Amino acid sequence: MTQSTDSDQHGFKRRGVLFVLSSPSGAGKSTIARKLLAAEHELSMSVSATTRAPREGEVDGRDYHFVDIEEFRRMASDHEFLEWAHVFDNRYGTPRAPVDAMLHAGKDVLFDIDWQGAQQLFQIAGGDVVRVFILPPSMAELHQRLIARNTDTTEVINRRMARAAAEVSHWDGYDYVLVNDDVEACFRKVQTILAAERLKRSRQTGLIGFIRKLMH
Ligand code: ADP
Ligand code: 5GP
């Protein structure tokens, strides 16, 4: 599914990276995703559809496409999702068409999706997918971050905490596992992973042509 994208000064083509960030809610993946998007101009965000209500400050079409359950069901039955899952009491899904368009335009794509989404994406796109899991330094710190974020009721925070251990148990479905202790340090590691993955030989589809020319 992944298109080739222009690469460095040698004119190599390379396959786009489908870069997945997952974490238990509150560990900091949105914070890191925002920093990464600001720093990486060849990276575009996949905006998911969700049936959950917008949080204060969230913008429809930027943070999520907020849809009702009927619209979500229609999108699923019309195969408009690359993957979708139940998370908490809501449904979340990745619309397929924008991802195809971003890859076609030569972008890498960033996904903020849970382990179920990472698993489904890996089944579809295999070697193009890079899965990064972000851990909090402790469960107590995770709780503090959810409180400090000030976006959820105590009941919702308690449910997120109750689910956190189950999410962490999927750590071995990821290529990289990082602890988000210092946000700058964690961000730099994520950036390093993206840079290295972009350079992987298996993504350099134009390399063979360059090698041929080099040998003559
Ligand atoms: P997620 O997207 O994983 O649910 P967020 O990115 O919304 O998490 O982060 C949850 C809260 O924790 C936010 O208020 C954010 O500013 C804060 N946060 C993120 N990373 C760190 C960190 N390394 N140290 C302290 N607070 C952090
Ligand atoms: P939140 O409600 O905090 O924005 O997100 C809750 C969880 O749903 C997070 O773990 C987030 O990564 C996940 N999520 C968001 N969008 C999608 C999606 O399109 N697919 C899947 N599988 N998970 C998603």
Tell how far the Cα of 114 is from the centroid of ligand 2, in angstroms.
5
Cα dihedral 73→59→132→75 (10° resolution): 10
Asked if residue 148 has its Cβ within 6 Å of ligand 1, the reply is yes
Helix (H, G, I), strand (E, B) or coil at 178: strand
What distance in angstroms lies between residue 31's CA and the mean position of ligand 1's atoms?
Answer: 6
pLDDT higher than 70, residue 5: no
Confirm if 90 and 51 have CB atoms less than 8 A apart. yes
Mean pLDDT (whole number) for 86-105? 94
Count CB atoms within 10 A of the CB of residue 53: 8
Rounded Cα distance, 208 and 150, in Å: 52
Buried/exposed code over 140-156 (b: 16+ C-beta within 10 A; e: otherwise): eebbebbeeeeebeeee
The mean predicted confidence, pLDDT, of the chain is 93
Q: What pLDDT is stored for residue 206 in this prediction?
A: 86
Q: Whose CA is nearest to atom 2 of ligand 1?
A: 30
Over residues 40-68, the pLDDT tens digits come to 999 999 999 999 999 888 999 999 999 99
Whether pLDDT at 8 is above 70: no
What's the mean pLDDT in 11-34?
Answer: 92
The pLDDT value recorded for residue 2 is 58
Nearest residue to 133 via CA among 166, 167, 177: 177
Q: Is 35 in the pocket of ligand 1 (CB under 6 A)?
A: no
Give residue 152's pLDDT: 87
User: What 3-state DSSP class applies to 83?
Assistant: strand
Taking the CA of residue 116 as reference, the ligand 2 atom at the shortest distance is 22
DSSP code, position 23: -
For residue 90, the ligand closest to its alpha carbon is 2
The angle at the Cα of 120, spanning 65 to 47, to the nearest 5 degrees, equals: 20
Per-residue confidence band for 12, with pLDDT thresholds at 50, 70 and 90: confident
pLDDT of residue 115 exceeding 90: yes
Hey, which of 87, 99, 124, 152 would you mutate to test ligand 2's pocket, going by the most ligand atoms within 8 Å of its Cβ? 87
| Ligand 1 atom 18 nearest Cα | 28
- 210 Cα to the center of ligand 1, angstroms: 44
H or E element that contains 121: helix 115-125
Judged by average pLDDT, the poorest of 36-50, 90-104, 152-166 is: 152-166
Ligand 1 centroid vs 139 CA: distance in angstroms? 13
Residue given tokens 């589809």 in the structure block: 205
Residue with the two structure tokens 């179920």:
116
> In the chain, at which residue ranges do the beta strands (DSSP E only) sit?
4-6, 13-15, 18-22, 43-45, 49-50, 65-66, 81-87, 90-95, 108-112, 129-135, 176-179
Cα(146) to ligand 1 centroid in Å equals 8
Per-residue confidence (pLDDT) for residue 4, from 0 to 100: 55
Q: Is 7 a residue whose pLDDT tops 70?
A: no
Say what the pLDDT of residue 88 is.
77
Residue 209 pLDDT greater than 60, yes or no? yes
Distance (Å, whole) CA 142 – CA 144: 5
Please tell me the number of Cα atoms within 13 Å of 113 on its side-chain side: 35
Ligand 2 atom nearest residue 48's Cα: 19
Q: 105: which DSSP letter?
A: T
The domains located in the chain, with CATH, are 18-46+108-214 (3.40.50.300)
Cβ–ligand 1 contact at 119 (below 6 Å): no
With a cut of 70, say whether residue 32 has pLDDT above it.
Answer: yes
Q: Is the CB of 136 under 6 A from ligand 1?
A: no
Q: Nearest bound ligand to CA 58?
A: 2
Confirm if 16 and 3 have CB atoms less than 8 A apart: yes
